[in-house]
């Protein structure tokens, strides 16, 4: 049976609520999430520092100085007016710990009470804000041991993941396994997730192939610890892993998910992007082919959507999420994994009503396919060093030859539904064009659904595609009939 896996990160609840809300209504969070198609909830407890009173990992408030209502870190004030989310995260997590309250234990119990499966998710190698050495997200251990970072031979501070840990160092492996052990001992959970996609890069550039044995050996240890926890708790304790969305990138970056599945080291596998953009072209059917049916396959959907890594960020609307879910489920996914889809996150959505539509429908093929959906071209944001970026857009269309774009849409829309091919352009132009969908020429239309997110493109044009789309892959061919070229920056099939 299909469904949704939802990830809740280690800061959202604490950052976006008042002190009164945190102390008086912890289970509002689980009440919001335990609904509709949601089957499993992954509660992230931390990264380099934790949001609970860990005994093996630094706590986020551990090296913070509290002076009344003022908070200082590394002798620098974290002011509520200037950094309200960081301020509230540090204050609220410490406040709960001082009161002897572990929110994760409460959430686990409430999730199970509401008929869902509670998991803990560990961010294995988080590298948020690494250019800022004095950010509270960093542990003292990380700051004091730059020799353990992935890249030590040069400085390129704009790339956060270069300052992630190099897991070739045994101490890094041991630290993570100790955290796994504490988690499995501390909580009555249904499973533990190894979130390798925070940040996806775990070895010195060029040494990723040697890393496959390291990560596999770690997963053997994790499997053993989970089995021991299951005996103690009296119920199964499963293991999940988040990995890069494209199989070749996962393998070349030091992962070996096929081996993990064959050795029964993981029960759920989530191929997914990092964060820069959701990846609408994760090859779910191919993943299914190489993994077989012995694992729950849960491809991930991210909160952002972009056609390239330098395009302006666009929000993953409900229609875009429904389009992706429809595509993935039709290719054989067992779950849809939602990452950064929070109940209160102004960057994503402003109200729970919007998120509820996704949670209620995106885990069932028939339901999400019946919704308005958008199938956009994006790009894979986690590629092995040295591999091409893999962007299909932007594309310059000359008079010859034509350019083609492939869209996987799942079930084709019925005759009663409207369908469009919509392109966004680099600049306004008056070029004559022909557009073909699956070999059928489409008629251009001036009336098509407006979307404020894609207004960033100087010009958009649309073509009616009613009755032309087919199940699965659809090929759009763009023909330029004029001498002057034009550049396509955005492309989608939209179904109403």
Is 245 in contact with 272 (CB distance < 8 Å)?
A: yes
415 and 304 within one domain: no
Q: Confidence band (pLDDT; 50, 70, 90) for 165?
A: very high
> Which of 221, 283, 218, 215 has its CA nearest to residue 254?
215
**CA-based nearest residue to 295, from 256, 271, 269, 263:** 269
Domain limits for position 454: 395-495
Whether residue 385 lies inside any domain: the answer is: no
Q: Find the CATH number of the domain harbouring 200.
A: 3.20.20.80
Helices H / strands E in the chain, number of each:
14, 24
Do 252 and 155 belong together in one domain?
A: yes
CATH (domain of 481) = 2.60.120.260
Is the same domain home to 68 and 200? yes
CA dist 52 and 14 (Å) reads: 11
Statement: residue 349 has pLDDT above 80: no
Q: Is residue 183 part of a domain?
A: yes
How far is the C-alpha of 71 from the C-alpha of 62, rounded, in Å?
Answer: 12
Query: pLDDT tens digit string along 103-129?
Result: 999 999 999 999 999 999 999 999 999
Q: Is residue 388 part of a domain?
A: no
When pLDDT is cut at 50, 70 and 90, the band that residue 345 belongs to is low
Structural domain contains residue 379: no
Sequence-separated (6 or more) residues with CB below 8 Å from residue 68 = none
Whether 364 maps to a domain, the answer reads yes
Instruction: Note whether 179 and 240 are same-domain residues.
Output: yes
Do 163 and 216 share a domain, yes or no? yes
Residue 334 and residue 469 in one domain: no
Check residue 348 and give its pLDDT: 47
Residue for token pair 């070999």: 439
Q: Say yes or no: 59 and 184 in one domain.
A: yes
Task: Provide the whole-model pTM.
Answer: 0.96
Do 312 and 425 reside in the same domain of the chain?
no
Residue 377 lies in a domain: no
Same domain, 299 and 192: yes
What is the rounded distance in angstroms from the CA atom of residue 329 to the CA atom of residue 298? 9
Whether residue 207 has pLDDT greater than 60: yes
Per-residue pLDDT tens digits for 393-442: 999 999 988 999 999 999 999 999 999 999 999 999 989 999 999 999 99
Task: State pLDDT tens for residues 362-386.
Answer: 999 999 999 999 999 999 999 999 9
With a cut of 50, say whether residue 493 has pLDDT above it: yes
Is 120 domain-assigned?
Answer: yes
Q: What is the distance between the alpha carbons of residues 330 and 366, in angstroms, rounded to a whole number?
A: 10
* String of DSSP letters for 306-327: -SSTTSPPEE--HHHHHHHHHH
Check whether residue 64 and residue 211 sit in a common domain: yes
Asked if residue 383 is part of any domain, the answer here is no
Q: Which two tokens stand for residue 314?
A: 């666009």
Whether residue 411 sits in one domain with residue 359: no
Alpha carbon distance 282, 300 (integer Å):
9
Residues 6+ apart with CB under 8 A from 419: 413, 464, 465, 466, 467, 468, 469, 493, 494, 495, 496
CA–CA dist 434, 441 (Å, integer): 7
List b or e across 445-479, with b for residues whose CB sees 16 or more CB atoms inside 10 angstroms: eeebeebeebeebeebbbbbbbebbeeeebebbbb
Together in a domain, 272 and 401:
no
| Tally of domains within the chain | 2
């Amino acid at each position: 049976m299909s469904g949704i896996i939802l990830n809740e990160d280690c800061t959202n609840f604490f950052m976006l609520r008042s002190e009164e809300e945190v102390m008086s209504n912890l289970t509002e969070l689980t009440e919001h999430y335990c609904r509709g198609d949601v089957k499993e909830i992954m509660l992230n407890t931390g990264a380099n520092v934790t949001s609970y009173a860990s005994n093996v990992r630094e706590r986020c408030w551990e090296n913070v100085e509290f002076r009344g209502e003022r908070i200082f870190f590394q002798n620098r004030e974290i002011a509520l007016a200037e950094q309200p989310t960081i301020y509230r995260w540090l204050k609220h997590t410490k406040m709960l710990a001082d009161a002897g309250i572990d929110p994760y234990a409460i959430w686990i119990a409430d999730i199970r009470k509401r008929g869902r499966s509670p998991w803990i998710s560990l961010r294995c190698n988080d590298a948020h804000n690494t250019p800022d050495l004095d950010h509270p997200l960093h542990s003292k251990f990380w700051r004091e041991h730059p020799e353990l970072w992935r890249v030590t031979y040069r400085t390129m501070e704009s790339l956060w993941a270069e300052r992630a840990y190099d897991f070739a160092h045994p101490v890094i492996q041991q630290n993570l396994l100790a955290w796994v052990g504490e988690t499995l001992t501390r909580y009555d959970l249904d499973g533990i997730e190894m979130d390798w996609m925070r940040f996806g890069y775990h070895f010195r550039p060029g040494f990723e192939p040697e890393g496959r044995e390291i990560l596999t050996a770690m997963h053997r240890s994790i499997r053993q610890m989970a089995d021991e926890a299951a005996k103690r708790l009296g119920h199964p304790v499963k293991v999940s892993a988040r990995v890069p969305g494209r199989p070749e990138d996962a393998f070349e970056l030091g992962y070996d998910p096929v081996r993990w599945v064959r050795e029964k080291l993981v029960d759920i596998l989530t191929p997914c992007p990092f964060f820069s953009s959701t990846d609408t072209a994760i090859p779910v059917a191919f993943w299914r082919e190489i993994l077989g049916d012995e694992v729950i396959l849960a491809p991930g959907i991210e909160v952002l959507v972009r056609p390239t890594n330098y395009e302006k960020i666009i929000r993953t609307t409900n229609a875009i999420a429904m389009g992706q879910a429809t595509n993935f489920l039709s290719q054989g996914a067992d779950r849809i994994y939602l990452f950064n889809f929070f109940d209160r996150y102004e960057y994503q959505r402003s109200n729970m009503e919007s998120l509820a539509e996704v949670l209620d429908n995106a885990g069932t093929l028939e339901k999400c396919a019946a919704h308005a959906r958008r199938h956009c071209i994006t790009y894979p944001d986690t590629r092995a060093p040295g591999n091409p970026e893999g962007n299909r857009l932007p594309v310059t269309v000359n008079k010859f030859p034509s350019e083609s774009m492939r869209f996987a849409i799942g079930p084709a829309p019925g005759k009663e539904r409207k369908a469009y091919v919509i392109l966004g352009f680099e600049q306004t132009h008056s070029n004559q064009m022909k557009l073909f969908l699956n070999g059928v020429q489409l008629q251009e239309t001036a009336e098509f659904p407006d979307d404020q997110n894609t207004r960033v493109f100087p010009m958009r044009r649309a073509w009616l595609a009613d009755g032309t789309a087919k199940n699965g892959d659809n090929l759009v061919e763009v023909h330029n009939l004029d001498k002057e070229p034009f550049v396509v920056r955005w492309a989608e099939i939209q179904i109403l």
